[in-house]
Amino acid sequence: MSNTAAQTASPQIGESWKEMLFEEFHQQYFQDLKQFLTDEKQNNVVYPPGPLIFSAFNQTPFEEVKVVVLGQDPYHGPGQANGLCFSVSNGIKHPPSLVNIFKEMQKDLNVPYPKTGDLSGWAKQGVLLLNTTLTVRAHTPASHQGQGWEFFTDAVIRALSEHREGIVFILWGRHAQNKKPLIDMTKHHVLEAAHPSPYSANGFFGCRHFSKTNYLLLNQGKMPINWVAL
């Protein structure tokens, strides 16, 4: 069995997530997804590496989620995808979407442009950095859409919406905004903007989602996110 298939067969997810999502791993769609990934690995490179597919869940436990940032699918270049949406590991050149995110953060918070593109500092503060699709074929964006991941990430959003309160959901772009009907707006907050990709960034710049998120958290008596702690 390939590393990717093994990882999806028995996901290494923290106990709180494992409890919430247990039924999903036994659904037919997830078995089909596992088979798709097994077949895909025979002829193609898949990102991120198997052990990193569920990094977002491992770095941000269910009970600690304060903010959800929804991306589309992982970066498809070598060494880029690390299991956190929009994030790249330290030392990797910042992709255009991440550059635009950091530019918006600079202007919104009046802070310097970050040196690292590793967003694990956000994840450790309760920001779930979740792609709607968790894997991708190398050099082929959107190649794993429609294979089952969307059902899984729907279940993630439903679990957070049902069992938690006061989460700030940041939806950038159409794929993320398609999840909005899953969120109970009487219990949670939703911030929407265009995707930070260069193709749509004009609708992203000026959203001020970093300061708005902290305002919403402070109003609930929660600690704000230190966005520069990367």
Q: Output the six-digit token pair for 84.
A: 């956190």
Cα–Cα dist 195/18, whole Å: 30
Q: At what angle do helices 96-109 and 209-219 cross, to 10 degrees?
A: 60
Give 110's contacts (C-beta < 8 A, 6+ positions apart). Answer: none
Q: At what angle do helices 28-43 and 149-163 cross, to 10 degrees?
A: 140
In degrees rounded to 5, what are phi and psi of residue 128? -80, 115
Residues β-bridged to residue 206:
none
**73 labelled catalytic:** yes
Compute the distance between CA of residue 4 and CA of residue 12 in angstroms, rounded to an integer.
Answer: 12
- Rounded CA-CA distance 68/76 in Å is 22
Joined together, the tokens standing for residue 89 give: 């590991």
Q: What is the DSSP letter of 65?
A: -
Catalytic residue of the set 73, 108, 154, 184:
73
* Alpha helix positions (H), the chain: 3-9, 15-21, 28-43, 55-59, 96-109, 120-123, 149-163, 174-177, 209-219
Evaluate whether 13 touches 152 at the Cβ level (below 8 Å): no
The residues annotated with a catalytic role in the active site are 73
